[in-house]
């Protein structure tokens, strides 16, 4: 019967007047709020429910017209018990709590008239319900800048948080309500989540977490049973860990519970101890809410939590109780293993923000709501209560105008909440904010606020939100905690502090160095730097030049530079940060130039566009990786245009490479835009070299797919007078090549042309031949060129043709004057193919003896082959071009033009090209008779028949100076070795010879005589034999080497990296063990004896050579005795194990004191003290640094060193007698670089540059003495 329901009893039935009198402690709100009258309850007026009594208050007591309607609805539904509606349903329609259907606040648990009046647990639960209701309905103290709002809208009970399941912990980001925190959840598209016992609510640092805890506790105190689904909570405890000074029981009994009559245990019938001891029996019906895990209480001397808190989290205290832990993101990593559900608190829901923008009611202007909703920065501010009120105040004071830029939004909020604050007050609070951001703290105490701020009670306090206090001691001492009122404001305050140090470079550098707490700079710190750059504006270079210790990526530097603006000083500082303000230090032993690769992303294009506008930019080589954006098409094109405009004004870049991977189904408009970008890039001033690489992913693309690009090239190349080197890798068809050749005939400035992967059809070769005749080129490159479209493909997916478009069918006919026994690839029977990139495999029945060298003694990779051993003969005629089928449709026309008397072709590159036997013979004749051909490259050949005519033709060449024939697939036996040695020895003009990767099998002593003859007669200055293998089966490894057996006076640069000599007893000689065979190279100045790399691309899996004490001492002793002119030594990837490290290093140091070495490269060297099992690379390097009298440069790459070893190496670098050292720390951090350079930067004797520019995952430390910067070698 509704008439029997007494409102003062919380909606319970059948209470006698005596029981009602005894239940009066529950009417705590009426007792403390007398001005509302005896029949008024703030909770009931704000939260009308279905279970409210049917009696309606007088109209004079109604706070607003909306209340009678809701009260009538609740009265009509009170007769029929129904399940409360979902928490968010009505709110999402109305935007406030006026229409929420929540149960009315209950009294103590139902019990008989005398049964549980003395139950300590029940009395504790009743009091906690009353306490939580009071605290949740308490209005916060509003700052002075807040405009009037409706009463009750800012209390924690009205908080409407946006809670979501964490995407990384649960795999989905679905929103849930407060009532669903502890209940099973059936997601829309995901799995069913069971009810958890441990819940972690992750909060951002700018929210007041105590309000969220009170909102959860208010739900329990006002809505029994709570949660509405699953096992209800009988008793909830709240533990603000920031106030916890002892045990949990001590805090609840002496801090949370009041003294005197209000204490529920003041009237006897059992004390708090009895209630505490009975909590264990509640098991899952006990809920404990914890807040402040990340806050370290100043009264606790230890930095860890109290023991019982740890026991509670780890399940030793109340193991079956349910726990909700509210913490910030910084503390979640250590807490996640203890939790079963991970929830993120993302601020207020949008509907609640809309309500607060209107002062707590639905009256906000539509323009204001639309502006906030469309601006991401304003939307972030509106995620907090005070942020919404600040936006509303800004909107009113500015006449309806709101900023949209992030910095402008934060600045406007600051001017609103802390108006008329002095510069000193802002910088003081900014210093505290920066400290909190560095230490990942979300709150500050009142004592810290007084310590940092001289006037914390002024308007500057409007930036902070003061949290509630719950314990008696905390309230008495006013030990308040503060959080920032909205996101971004802490970063803004910290940025103002950084800006205040701009004119004090020492303090600024110290603060910046302190920002690098870990390996990476946190996003909050990056936002501080971004705001600082924007606030500094034209003075941003003062900050940008101090950011080196943070080790920022180029993308981050670009975003900071964009925020600072485009003044000349800022652009100069940007180039210095990128390392392009002056020519970077190029190591003397590095031949490859430094390239900068730019991806066509928005940030990189904008940042590099700024750098190219600087007059101090010295970058020479640039690569643009063009990516076709389908989503941000308009924006990316606008940024690309800005970048190309900046590039067109740059005068330092002389070499430009554009690469692009074009996907399937690309639109013609995208190809046309790419063509326009290429045209703009080609017109860049002072552009000398241009390379274009476009790759189509379509399996069989249309022939004219890139015709617009070809047209753009033909239209633009004549307009670039500085262009001299052109490389086009577009998959050109014959018609397009003819079009380009016709254009180049009108361009006398283009002298070097490279056309990789060219399809050599008849018309294409004819066009190139005509170009060589009309417009003589100095260099022509056709690497990886292949045959016509109708050539049958090989098993490797590459055409096996001869590189021509001829299909006459008689190309297999071989004249008597050609190489005997070396058939043309087209003469093989159909259907027999090779696994090599070019050519086919002939039947083994027609080859006579085995064509494969024995692999076991060679100890090489499986791709070492000797398929051409059958062609080895004692004598061969001079290579000459055949007539017949060869002069129609192959490379004959091109090579004929190259060896013309009037030809100016100096260099020809046919590496990895498909050459038939006829083409090889024609090339051999070209090398033999040409009077202008200085260099020839035929790298990557798979058969000896492809390169042997060139080798034979070189014997009569009048001008050949450089020949590079490196290939891992070439193997020679005695006859071929002798013939090649005689031919190469006869070339008196040859200066550079590279035979990298070749295998030599010598079984005849006479062959060694030919090799000795070549070494004594040759005029080669640089000889490359990297990764070569010399199989000498007639000797054993113990045969002594005669001094001067292999004498060579011409070679000054010998490259033997990875080379080895294999003897009859299957023992190999590598690295320093080969030095006795080289004592005859009396004029040697540069020697490379590096071992193969053990990691990365090109690494080897063979057994590494481990050097001992005796090997190292003997090696340097031999160097001193026989190589008096040697000044450059490369000994990379050596593995040295020393049994007597101290003694051996002393011997090496003594030998080095009389050594002529001036340049040393020691990449990847591993030195081990075997007895101590310690790495001693720093001590090994110190022997070189401190003892070489003529040392000018030393380079090394190290990995896996400890911090102590890195520090030791830095100290040793200070003792170097040389001028420069480059140390590359692989897989290292900026902290290690700081450790190494800390001792060197003290006295100012060294110029130190630390950068990752141009490196992969390593840190390059360049140390140079300030006395001289010369790098010239003796």
Whether residue 225 is preceded by a cis peptide bond, meaning omega within 30 degrees of 0, is: yes
The pLDDT, as a whole number, for residue 51 is: 37
User: Tokens in use for 66?
Assistant: 């909306």
Q: pLDDT higher for 918 or 875?
A: 918
Q: Which of these, 598, 593, 542, 532, lies nearest to 563 by C-alpha position?
A: 532
Write down the pLDDT at residue 914. Answer: 86
CA nearest neighbour of 1128 among 584, 588, 586, 585: 588
Mean pLDDT, residues 997-1012:
92
Q: Are 533 and 577 in contact (CB under 8 A)?
A: no
Q: Give the number of other CB atoms < 10 A from CB of residue 393.
A: 17
Residue 962 pLDDT level (bands cut at 50, 70, 90)? very high
pLDDT of residue 772: 92
SS (H, E, C) 895-927: HHHHCCCCCCCCEEECCCCCCCHHHHHHHHHHH
Q: Which of 114-128, 180-194, 903-917, 983-997 has the lowest mean pLDDT?
A: 114-128
Please give the helix or strand (H or E) that residue 1168 lies within, else none. strand 1166-1169
**pLDDT score at 932:** 94
Q: Span 645-670, mean pLDDT?
A: 92
> What band does 1243 get if pLDDT is binned at 50, 70 and 90?
low
777-819 pLDDT, tens digit per residue, is 999 999 998 765 444 333 333 333 333 333 333 333 223 233 3
pLDDT (tens digit, 9 = 90+) per residue, 1109-1120? 999 999 999 999
pLDDT confidence bin for 867, thresholds 50/70/90:
very low
User: What are the two backbone dihedrals, phi and then psi, of residue 759, each rounded to the nearest 5 degrees?
Assistant: -85, 105
Please give the span between the terminal C-alpha atoms of the chain, in angstroms, as a whole number: 111
Kindly state the average pLDDT of the residues 275-298.
Answer: 86
Q: Average the pLDDT over each of 174-178, 889-893, 985-989, 1029-1033 and give the range with the smallest value.
A: 889-893
**969 sits in which H/E element:** none
1102 vs 208 pLDDT, higher one: 208
Which residue did the predictor score with more confidence, 1154 or 32? Answer: 1154
> 200: which strand partners?
325, 342
Mean pLDDT of 1120-1148: 94
> Residue 252 carries which DSSP code?
I
SS3 for 824? coil
So what's the pLDDT on residue 79? 37
List the single range of 30-39, 266-275, 294-303, 491-500 with lowest mean pLDDT. Answer: 30-39
Q: Which range in 16-30, 486-500, 518-532 is most confidently predicted, on average pLDDT? A: 486-500
Across 269-273, 637-641, 976-980, 1141-1145, least confident range? 269-273
Six-digit token string for 683: 């017109």
Class of 133-348 per CATH? Answer: alpha beta
Distance CA 687, CA 744 (A): 17
Q: Are strands 1220-1226 and 1258-1265 parallel, antiparallel or unpaired?
A: antiparallel
* pLDDT, average across residues 370-391: 94
The pLDDT > 90 percentage for the chain reads 51
- Which DSSP letter does residue 49 get? -
Q: Among 464-478, 873-887, 952-966, 1159-1173, where is mean pLDDT lowest?
A: 873-887
**DSSP letters for 1064-1100:** TTS-EEEGGGGGGGGTT-TT--EEE-PPPPSSSTT--
pLDDT at position 270: 66
Q: Considering only CA atoms, which of 554, 665, 529 is closest in space to residue 611?
A: 554
Asked whether residue 512 carries a pLDDT value surpassing 60, the answer given is yes
Identify the band that residue 887 occupies on the pLDDT scale cut at 50, 70 and 90: low
Mean pLDDT of 1253-1264: 69
- Residue range 348-374: mean pLDDT, rounded: 87
Measured in whole angstroms, the distance separating CA 1214 from the mean position of its chain's CA atoms is: 33
* Region 342-370 average pLDDT: 88
- Answer whether residue 1038 shows pLDDT above 60: yes
Contact between 1274 and 1127 under an 8 Å Cβ cutoff? The reply is yes
Is pLDDT above 90 for 957? Answer: yes
- 3 state DSSP class of 1263: strand
CATH number for the segment(s) 1097-1274: 3.80.10
> What does residue 67 show for φ and ψ, rounded to 5 degrees?
-75, -45
Residue 170, pLDDT score: 84
> What's the whole-number mean pLDDT along residues 1123-1131?
94
**Residue-level pLDDT at 937:** 96
Summarised one tens digit per residue, pLDDT across range 225-256 is 899 888 999 999 999 998 888 899 999 998 99
pLDDT of residue 1100: 59
Yes or no: say if 780 and 932 are a contact pair by the CB < 8 Å rule: no
Judge whether 233 and 185 are in contact, CB under 8 Å: no
The Cα–Cα gap between 365 and 361 comes to 11
Per-residue pLDDT for 494 more than 50? Answer: yes
Average pLDDT in the chain:
80
Residue 1206 and residue 544: Cα distance in Å, rounded?
A: 28
Q: Looking at the chain, how many residues does it have?
A: 1274
Q: Which of 71-75, 625-629, 865-869, 966-970 has the highest mean pLDDT?
A: 966-970
Distance CA 952, CA 58 (A): 117
Q: What secondary structure does DSSP assign to 1216-1257, as a single string?
A: --SSEEEEEEET--HHHHHHHHTTTSSSS-EEEEEE-TT-SS
pLDDT mean over 3-12: 37
Of the candidates 1022, 964, 975, which has an alpha carbon nearest to the alpha carbon of residue 998? 964
CA distance linking residue 1082 with residue 1016, whole number of Å: 12
Selected residue with higher pLDDT from 826 and 349: 349
- What would the mean pLDDT of 1168-1180 be, rounded to a whole number? 93
Confidence of residue 1052 (pLDDT cuts 50, 70, 90): very high
Which residues have C-beta within 8 Å of that of residue 164, sequence separation ≥ 6?
Answer: 173, 174, 175, 176, 343, 344, 346
Q: Around 694, how many Cα atoms within 13 Å sit in the side-chain half-sphere?
A: 21
CB 960 within 8 A of CB 952: no
Q: Residues 1190-1222: pLDDT tens digits?
A: 999 999 988 888 888 888 888 888 888 878 888
Confidence of residue 878 (pLDDT cuts 50, 70, 90): confident
What is d(CA 1026, CA 1058) in angstroms, rounded to the nearest whole number? Answer: 6
Q: Has residue 927 got a pLDDT over 90? A: yes
Report how far residue 727's alpha carbon sits from residue 725's, in angstroms, rounded to the nearest whole number. 7
For residue 743, the number of C-alpha atoms closer than 13 Å in the C-beta half-sphere is 19
Q: Which residues pair with 1086 in a beta bridge?
A: 1053, 1128
Domain regions of the chain by residue span? 2-82, 133-348, 681-752+760-780, 906-915+933-947+957-1089, 1097-1274
Instruction: From residue 122, give the alpha-carbon distance in Å to each of 126, 226, 942.
Output: 6, 16, 91
- Please enumerate in sequence order all residues whose Cβ is within 8 A of that of 1106, keeping only pairs 6 or more positions apart, or say none: 1135, 1136, 1137
The pLDDT of 306-331, averaged and rounded, is 91
User: 86-132, pLDDT tens digit by residue?
Assistant: 433 333 333 333 333 344 444 444 443 333 456 889 999 999 999 99
Any idea which of 750-754, 761-765, 925-929 has the lowest mean pLDDT? Answer: 761-765
Are 184 and 195 spatial neighbours (Cβ–Cβ below 8 Å)?
A: yes
pLDDT > 70 in the chain, percent: 78
b/e per residue 365-382 (b: at least 16 CB within 10 A): eeebbebbeebebbbbbb
Over range 1235-1248, report the average pLDDT: 76
pLDDT at 8: 37
Going 1142 to 1144 to 1147 to 1151, the CA torsion angle's sign is: negative
Q: How many CB atoms lie within 10 A of CB 250?
A: 14
User: Does pLDDT of 583 surpass 70?
Assistant: no
Q: What is the mean pLDDT of residues 466-486?
A: 88
- Asked if residue 854 has pLDDT above 70, the reply is no
Strand order in the sheet with 1174-1175: 1106-1107, 1135-1138, 1166-1169, 1174-1175
Residue 281 CB partners (closer than 8 Å, separation 6+): none
268 band by pLDDT with thresholds 50, 70 and 90: low
H-helix or E-strand spanning residue 679? helix 668-682
For 8-32, what is each residue's pLDDT tens digit? 333 333 444 434 434 444 443 344 4
Residue 970 is predicted with a pLDDT of 94
pLDDT score for 636: 85
The tens digit of pLDDT for each residue in 201-214 reads 999 999 889 999 99
What are the E-state strand segments in 177-279? 185-186, 192-193, 198-203, 235-240
What is the reported pLDDT for 424? 94
| pLDDT, mean of residues 698-717 | 91
Q: How many CB atoms lie within 10 A of CB 1246?
A: 20
Residue 41 binned pLDDT confidence (cut-offs 50, 70, 90): very low
């Amino acid at each position: 019967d509704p008439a029997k329901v007494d409102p003062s009893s919380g909606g319970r039935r059948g209470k006698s007047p005596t029981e009602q009198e005894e239940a009066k402690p529950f009417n705590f709100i009426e007792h403390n709020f007398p001005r509302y009258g005896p029949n008024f309850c703030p909770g009931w007026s704000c939260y009308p429910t279905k279970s409210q009594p049917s009696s309606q208050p007088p109209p004079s007591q109604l706070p607003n017209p909306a209340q009678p309607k809701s009260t009538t609805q609740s009265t009509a539904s009170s007769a029929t018990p129904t399940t409360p509606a979902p928490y968010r349903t009505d709110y999402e329609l109305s935007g406030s709590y006026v229409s929420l259907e929540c149960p009315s606040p209950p009294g103590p648990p139902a019990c008989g008239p005398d049964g549980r009046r003395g139950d300590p647990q029940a009395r504790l639960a009743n009091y906690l319900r009353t306490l939580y209701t009071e605290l949740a309905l308490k209005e916060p103290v509003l700052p002075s800048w807040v405009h009037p709002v409706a009463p009750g809208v800012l209390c924690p009970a009205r908080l409407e948080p946006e809670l979501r399941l964490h995407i990384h912990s649960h795999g989905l980001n679905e929103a849930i309500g407060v009532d669903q925190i502890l209940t099973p959840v059936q997601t829309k598209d995901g799995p069913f989540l069971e009810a958890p016992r441990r819940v972690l609510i992750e909060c951002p640092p700018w929210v007041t977490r105590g309000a969220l805890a009170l909102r959860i506790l208010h739900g329990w105190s006002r809505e029994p049973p709570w949660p509405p689904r699953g096992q209800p909570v009988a008793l909830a405890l709240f533990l603000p860990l920031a106030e916890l000074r002892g045990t949990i029981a001590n805090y609840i009994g002496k801090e949370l519970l009041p003294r005197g009559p209000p204490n529920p245990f003041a009237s006897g019938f059992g004390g708090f101890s009895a209630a505490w001891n009975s909590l264990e029996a509640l098991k899952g019906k006990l809920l404990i809410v914890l807040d402040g895990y990340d806050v370290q209480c100043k009264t606790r001397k230890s930095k860890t939590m109290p023991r019982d808190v740890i026991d509670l989290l780890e399940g030793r205290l109340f193991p079956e109780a349910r726990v909700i832990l509210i913490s910030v993101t910084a503390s979640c990593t250590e807490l996640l293993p203890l939790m079963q559900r991970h929830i993120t608190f993302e601020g207020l829901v949008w509907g609640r923000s809309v309500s607060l923008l209107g002062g707590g009611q639905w009256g906000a202007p539509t323009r204001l709501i639309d502006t906030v909703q469309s601006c991401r920065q304003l939307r972030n501010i509106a995620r907090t209560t005070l942020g919404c009120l600040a936006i509303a105040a800004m909107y009113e004071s500015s006449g309806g105008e709101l900023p949209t830029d992030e910095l402008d939004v934060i600045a406007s909020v600051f001017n609103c909440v802390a108006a008329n604050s002095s510069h000193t007050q802002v910088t003081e609070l900014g210093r505290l904010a920066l400290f909190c951001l560095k230490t990942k703290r979300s709150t500050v105490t009142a004592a810290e606020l007084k310590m940092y701020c001289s006037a914390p009670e002024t308007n500057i306090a409007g930036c902070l939100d003061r949290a509630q206090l719950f314990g008696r001691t905390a309230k008495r001492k006013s030990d308040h905690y503060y959080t920032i009122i909205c996101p971004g404001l802490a970063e803004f305050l910290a940025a103002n502090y950084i800006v205040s140090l701009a004119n004090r470079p020492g303090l600024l550098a110290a603060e910046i160095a302190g920002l690098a707490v870990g390996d990476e700079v946190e996003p909050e710190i990056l936002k501080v730097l971004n705001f600082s750059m924007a606030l500094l504006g034209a003075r941003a270079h003062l900050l940008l030049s101090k950011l080196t210790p943070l080790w920022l990526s180029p993308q981050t530097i670009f975003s900071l530079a964009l925020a600072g603006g485009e003044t000349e000083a800022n652009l100069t500082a940007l180039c210095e940060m990128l390392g392009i303000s002056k020519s970077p230090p190029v190591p003397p032993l590095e031949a490859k130039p430094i390239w900068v690769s730019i991806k066509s992303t928005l940030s990189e294009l904008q940042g590099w566009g700024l750098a190219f506008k600087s007059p101090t930019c010295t970058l020479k080589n640039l690569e643009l990786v063009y990516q076709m954006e389908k989503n941000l098409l308009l924006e990316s094109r606008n940024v690309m245009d800005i970048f190309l405009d900046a590039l067109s004004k740059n005068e330092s870049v002389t070499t430009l490479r554009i690469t692009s991977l074009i996907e399937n189904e690309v639109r013609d408009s995208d190809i046309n835009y790419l063509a326009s970008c290429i045209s703009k890039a080609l017109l860049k001033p002072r552009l000398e070299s241009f390379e274009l690489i476009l790759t189509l992913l379509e399996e069989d693309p249309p022939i004219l797919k890139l015709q617009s690009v070809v047209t753009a090239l033909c239209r633009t190349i004549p307009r670039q007078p500085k262009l001299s080197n052109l490389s086009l890798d577009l998959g050109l068809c014959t018609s397009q090549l003819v079009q380009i050749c016709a254009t180049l005939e009108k361009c006398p400035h283009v002298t070097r042309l490279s056309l990789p992967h060219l399809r050599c059809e008849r018309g294409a070769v004819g066009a190139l031949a005509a170009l060589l005749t009309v417009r003589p080129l100095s260099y022509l490159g056709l690497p990886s060129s292949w045959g016509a479209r109708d050539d049958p493909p090989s098993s490797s997916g590459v055409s096996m043709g001869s590189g021509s478009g001829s299909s006459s069918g008689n190309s297999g006919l071989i004249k008597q004057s050609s190489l005997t026994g070396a058939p043309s690839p087209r003469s093989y029977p159909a259907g027999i193919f090779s696994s090599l990139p070019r050519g086919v495999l002939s039947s083994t029945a027609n080859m006579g003896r085995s064509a494969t060298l024995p692999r076991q003694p060679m100890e090489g990779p499986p791709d070492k082959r000797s398929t051409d051993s059958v062609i080895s003969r004692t004598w061969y005629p001079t290579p000459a071009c055949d007539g017949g089928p060869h002069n129609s449709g192959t490379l004959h026309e091109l090579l004929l033009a190259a060896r013309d008397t009037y030809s100016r072709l100096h260099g020809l590159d046919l590496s990895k090209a498909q050459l038939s036997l006829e083409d090889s013979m024609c090339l051999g004749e070209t090398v033999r008779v040409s009077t202008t051909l200085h260099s020839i490259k035929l790298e990557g050949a798979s058969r000896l028949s492809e390169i042997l005519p060139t080798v034979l033709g070189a014997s009569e060449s009048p001008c050949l100076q450089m020949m590079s024939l490196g290939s891992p697939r070439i193997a020679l036996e005695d006859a071929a070795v002798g013939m090649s040695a005689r031919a190469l020895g006869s070339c008196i003009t040859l200066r550079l010879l590279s035979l990298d990767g070749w295998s030599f099998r010598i079984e005849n002593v006479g062959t060694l005589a030919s090799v000795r003859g070549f070494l004594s007669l040759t005029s080669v200055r640089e000889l490359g034999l990297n990764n070569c293998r010399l199989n000498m089966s007639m000797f054993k490894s113990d045969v002594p080497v005669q001094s001067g057996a292999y004498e060579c006076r011409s070679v000054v640069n010998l490259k033997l990296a990875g080379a080895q000599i294999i003897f009859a007893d299957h023992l190999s000689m590598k690295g320093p063990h080969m030095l006795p065979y080289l004592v005859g190279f009396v004029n040697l100045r540069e020697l490379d004896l590096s071992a193969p790399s053990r990691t990365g691309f090109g690494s080897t899996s063979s057994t590494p050579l481990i050097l001992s004490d005796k090997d190292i001492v003997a090696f340097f002793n031999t160097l001193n005795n026989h190589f008096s002119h040697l000044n450059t030594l490369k000994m990379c990837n050596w593995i040295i194990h020393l049994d007597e490290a101290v003694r051996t290093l002393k011997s090496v140091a003594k030998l080095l004191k009389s050594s002529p070495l001036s340049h040393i490269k020691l990449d990847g060297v591993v030195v081990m003290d075997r007895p101590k099992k310690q790495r001693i690379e720093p001590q090994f390097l110190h022997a070189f640094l401190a003892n070489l009298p003529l040392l000018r440069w030393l380079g090394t790459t190290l990995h896996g060193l400890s911090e102590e070893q890195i520090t030791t190496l830095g100290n040793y670098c200070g003792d170097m007698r040389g001028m420069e050292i480059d140390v590359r720390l692989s897989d290292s951090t900026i902290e290690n670089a700081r450790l190494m350079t800390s001792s060197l930067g003290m006295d100012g004797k060294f110029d130190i540059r630390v950068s990752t520019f141009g490196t992969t995952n390593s840190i390059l430390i360049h140390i140079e003495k300030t006395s001289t910067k010369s790098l010239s070698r003796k």
